[in-house]
Amino acid sequence: MLDEIVVTAQKREEDLQEVPISITVLDVEKLDVLTAAGADVKFLSGRVPSLTLESSFGRAFPRFYIRGLGNTDFDLNASQPVSMIVDEVVLENPVVKGMPLFDLERTEVLRGPQGTLFGRNTPAGIVKFDTRKPTRAFEGYVRASYGTFDNVDFKAAVGGGLSETLSARASVLYQSQSDWIDNRHTGENNALGGHETWAYRLQLLWQPSESFSGLFNVHGWELDGTARIFRANILKPGTNQLVAGFEQDEVWFDGLNDQEISAQGATVKLEWDLGGASLTSVTGYETLDMYSRGDIDGGFGAVFAPPSGPGVIPFPSESADGLPDLDQFTQELRLASTPGGRTDWLLGFFWFDEAITVESFSYDTLGGNVQDGYAVQKQDATSWALFGSFDFRPAERWTLKAGARYTKDEKEFSAERIDPTFQTPTVRPIEVETDADLATWDLSATWAASERVNLYTRVGTGFRAPSIQGRILFCADFEGGTNPATNCVSVADEEEILSFEVGTKMQLLDNRLRLNLAGYTYAVDGQQIVAVGGRYNTATLLNADESNGYGFEADLDFAPSNLWLITLGASYNKTEIDDPNLLVAPCGGGCTVLDPIVGGLARVDGNPLPHAPEWIFNGLVDFRLPVGDSLFTASVDWAYHDEKNFFLYESREFRADSFELGARIGWVFPEARYEVNLFARNLTDEIVVQNGIDFNNLTGMTNEPRIIGLELVARF
């Protein structure tokens, strides 16, 4: 029989099958398989229906896309329509979202707008992580692996009761990988591709009485290693195929590559049982600093400074971005009824405050990699909200739900080009403010057709707060920032979504088959999109008149016998930009644009959204055979998506599909005290072009190569 899956998608513990939202859950055992070899959060891409991820910052700055809705913006000030939440704390900045994942209880992916209980910047959905909490019972584990490229993945946790009222849990992570990419330009072997990551989490659970508990969480992480590897001219002109002779373990760089991140945080969760209701307070604080530098043109030299290559290098580009200061504070208060009656209700207040400083650097590659440009952005963002939800059961088989939220959002932004690359310094800081307030809501109805089959329908709204962008270092602006039409500071108004969804959740065959299906349609009014790249390494915010999408999702868990567990997922997502007047800069170097060109710009009306494949298929097949008091295990997993565009415009080159296969065989010793596994990630060693840079040449970014390793596990 399949185990019941408990989720907290509606901020209270519920059976997955009773929640009227399209949700996929990954439990501890699935996460252990999929995160082998030290995977970062991008391992989730394609692993659940309607979800993809990508990044142009290596192991940092994941960009999430759900049902085709996401944000391609590479600026450290970017916002996203997919919210990431860890232990009930929203992580706003995309670099903070790159935190290592370890000692997790489960991962929940909520698809569709979550505008009531979670609020701003959730029009596409939520990716939610819950860590393992302290318990009274003493327990712990060590999980360590070693693989190709000296890949090390070490995770450990220990916890238990310290007194009658106090419990604790300590978790640590260490991941590293040796450099494996040769730099043919400098002649240095194993020059790039490595990284080293440390992370820790300490939790204390204080329960002095049956009516009160306090959970205190202190955590942090460090990353030092290679930033994203940009590879010049790896695509055949006129196709999306790799050039002949492409080798993934070679680059030709004359620029430098480095990435460093340091982050710390703390969370306090307090809960009071008031009898007929409960009061919850969740306070979160995150701080981070980051620096990431790369050879953006992906090659060496330039056509005007031979020799150069590989392929045509129109001009050198070497730059870096940094977050010297990031501070985020959040506070949420919730008052909720005790569940189980004919009605349930929840009322809440939320506060968000973030202050960031973003630095941009450019370097003279041909002049010895010295700094020749510097700009800075600063932004203070505050937001508060009041929200509530109400559940009513008018009859035995019916549950009706309504929710509403009011949000107030403000931003103060300034940008200044202090040391220009080829323009003039800004005369004074360019300052912009935004102020928005919005109401969002959702309605749903669930009908229990039988004890094991639920049908539901849901209509909901969501929004993304106004965004400001000021990547001015490379802006073609010679007026010192005084002209708003040319100073490259842009503002996008809030985007709003209206989504309609119907679904069914079924448990069949004596609870050996769980099948959840959902169909949806949505319309986004004023979707925030980012025109990136073109001739200059800039980002310009725009609002499309409308974007539309529709599709379906399917999740299946099947246990045909006590030896097998089969998990399958599939989704179809059709997206389209509906704006006849929307024009964006096409590639600046060599791609074949398929859209109409008007005045040098590409008309993108009717195009699908970027990084929005139509089809996603994923699966995990697990086999377990008892052998005496031990257990033989084997599993195979896969993730596939069909072709997606990298940019708003369509071209023959900047599009790709993806397929990655994983496998594991293992032996679990008696009482599951010890375990040994042989695993492979990207078993077939597929080379997948995951993204591109279009302002210079046909530069692409690829996935990780095959890693084969041995894992040892000890539990106590």
Domains, in order of start, for the chain: 6-710 (2.40.170.20)
At 31, the amino acid letter reads: L
| Residue 427 structure tokens | 């005369």
User: Which residues, in sequence order, are bridge partners of residue 708?
Assistant: 680
In sequence order, what are the residues at sequence separation of 6 or more whose Cβ sits closer than 8 angstroms to the Cβ of residue 98? Answer: 40, 41, 55, 57, 59, 60, 61, 62, 223, 261
- Residue 422: predicted pLDDT: 78
Peptide bond into 307 cis (omega under 30): yes
CA atoms within 13 A on the CB side of 19: 23
Enter the pTM of the model. Answer: 0.96
d(CA 17, CA 12): 14
With residues binned 3-state (H G I as helix, E B as strand, rest as coil), the percentages for the chain, rounded to 5, are 5, 60, 35
Asked if residue 450 lies in contact with residue 441, where contact means CB atoms within 8 angstroms, the answer is: no
At 359, the amino acid letter reads: E
- Residue 588: predicted pLDDT: 82
Nearest in space to 151 (alpha carbons), one of 676, 712, 708: 708
Which own/partner pairs from 158-161 qualify as long-range (CB within 8 Å, at least 24 positions apart)? 159/132, 159/134, 159/135, 159/203, 160/134, 160/135, 160/136, 161/135, 161/136, 161/137
What element of type H or E holds 445? strand 430-448
Asked if residue 356 lies in contact with residue 326, where contact means CB atoms within 8 angstroms, the answer is: yes
In sequence order, what are the residues at sequence separation of 6 or more whose Cβ sits closer than 8 angstroms to the Cβ of residue 659? Answer: 638, 639, 640, 684, 686, 688
What radius of gyration do the chain's Cα atoms show?
A: 25
Mean pLDDT by 10 residues, the chain (716 residues): 93 95 96 94 96 93 96 92 97 95 96 94 96 96 98 98 97 98 97 97 97 98 96 95 96 97 98 96 98 96 95 94 97 94 95 97 96 96 98 95 97 95 89 96 97 97 95 87 90 97 97 97 96 68 96 98 97 97 88 94 96 98 97 98 96 97 98 97 97 90 97 97
Q: Give the chain's largest Cα–Cα span.
A: 79
- The SS3 call for residue 276 is coil
Counted residue by residue, the chain has a size of 716
Angle among Cα 57, 62, 66 to the nearest 5 degrees reads 145
| Residue 433 structure tokens | 């403010």
At 632, the amino acid letter reads: F
User: Which residues, in sequence order, are bridge partners of residue 416?
Assistant: 376
At 669, the amino acid letter reads: F
Angle among Cα 610, 614, 615 to the nearest 5 degrees reads 130
- Residue 533: predicted pLDDT: 58
Nearest in space to 465 (alpha carbons), one of 77, 79, 62, 74: 79
- Residue 611: predicted pLDDT: 97
Helices (H), 17-151: 28-34
- Residue 535: predicted pLDDT: 55
d(CA 55, CA 67): 18
Please, what's the b/e burial string for 168-178 (b: 16 or more CB within 10 A of its CB; e: otherwise)? Answer: bbbbbbbbbbe
- Residue 317: predicted pLDDT: 94
| Residue 416 structure tokens | 């200044």
What element of type H or E holds 362? strand 343-364
Q: Position of tokens 């990353």?
A: 223
- Residue 620: predicted pLDDT: 98
